[in-house]
Amino acid sequence: MQMGKSFRSSLLIPVLLLGTTACSQAPKPVNEMVKPVYPLKNIEMVVGYTAGGGTDVVARIVAKTAEKYMPNGKTIRVTNKPGDSGTNALVDIMQANPDGYKLGSVSAGSLAIQPNYGKTPFASDSFIPIAQFNSAPNILVVRADAPWKSYDEWLAWVMKHPGQFTYGSSGAGNTQHLAMEAVNILESIQTKHVPYDGAALSIKALLDGYVQGVIVLSQEAKPHVDAGSLRVLANLGTSPTKAYPDAVFLRERGFIGLDTWSGVVVAKGTPQEIVDTLRDVFRKAMNDPLLKEEFNNIGLEPAYADSKEFAEIIARTSKLTRDVAKVIGLVK
């Protein structure tokens, strides 16, 4: 009898152990095993300027291309929230849930410059940079029927008529404004600045005769230059542009050179896996041959910078433009 009990016990122990192991390896509920893959819904990209302006045009081209690489076939809808020199959109991003469903289309003016004036609720490093899209020169443009056929003719007139030349820009204190004020310092001239909420409005003001010139990005002027309604007098950027070879390149005359870049950011606190997904999507989009072709069609070259490099560009632009703003008295 003892031998029978012992034999049955020896058979029972492995069975119990097997049952214990099986229980410990029981499958977890589906909601614990499968983590939702971002994005589960469509994404919004907010532009701080009016539709049709340079930042808006670039954002729409990139967003359209990025959709090809977005997981789950989700789309990116571009919306416009202009005002306060492009900062309204960034306030919106800062206050949004950090879940990756609201992206901020940023420019040098809205992100790197405006915080220098101490009037924004955010600093230039208050967001997570995802990617830089482009870097374009600022250009001085007048109407095609203006009396000045060249930069030197314009300069001679402005010297004889101090304070009479009016120019528009896409906002007070942004790169366009600072670039022209730096020209005033370089050439010892006086001009009058008229800010607008976006390049499209400033160009309309020029075409309608409310201002005599504008400082805009190369791609913003191109349709009007091609149509014969506007003339480019000078390139205020850091490098020559193929689109306007006849424009005077002021850096060759000692000008510091200021470009305007654009890119995309998300709110701080966005989960790292979502940030990584967005970085990958926009990296692929910026290297897409069709995107490069569309950029070329508006007189632009892509200037992709990854998250780390873009953060450095933001910091560098902030310091440079702050120094210029101090010289002209906009910053103490």
Report the CATH fold assignment for 43-132+262-319: D-Maltodextrin-Binding Protein; domain 2 (3.40.190)
Q: Which two tokens stand for residue 245?
A: 């070879």
Residue 303 phi/psi, 5° resolution?
A: -135, 70
Task: Find out whether 122 and 91 touch, Cβ atoms under 8 Å.
Answer: yes
In this chain, the answer to whether the domains covering 43-132+262-319 and 137-253 adopt an identical fold is yes
* pTM assigned to the model: 0.73
pLDDT exceeding 90 applies to what percent of the chain?
Answer: 67
Whether the link from the prior residue into 39 is cis, omega within 30° of 0, is: yes
Where is pLDDT greater, at 21 or 199? 199
Domain 137-253, what architecture? 3-Layer(aba) Sandwich (3.40)
Task: Find out whether 68 and 10 touch, Cβ atoms under 8 Å.
Answer: no
Domain locations in the chain?
Answer: 43-132+262-319, 137-253
Where is pLDDT greater, at 153 or 32? 153
CA distance 165 to 174: 19
pLDDT one-digit tens code per residue, 6-60: 434 443 344 333 344 444 444 544 444 456 799 999 999 999 998 988 889 999 9
CA distance 314 to 310: 6
Task: Find out whether 179 and 139 touch, Cβ atoms under 8 Å.
Answer: no
pLDDT one-digit tens code per residue, 56-99: 999 999 999 999 999 999 999 999 999 888 899 999 999 999 99
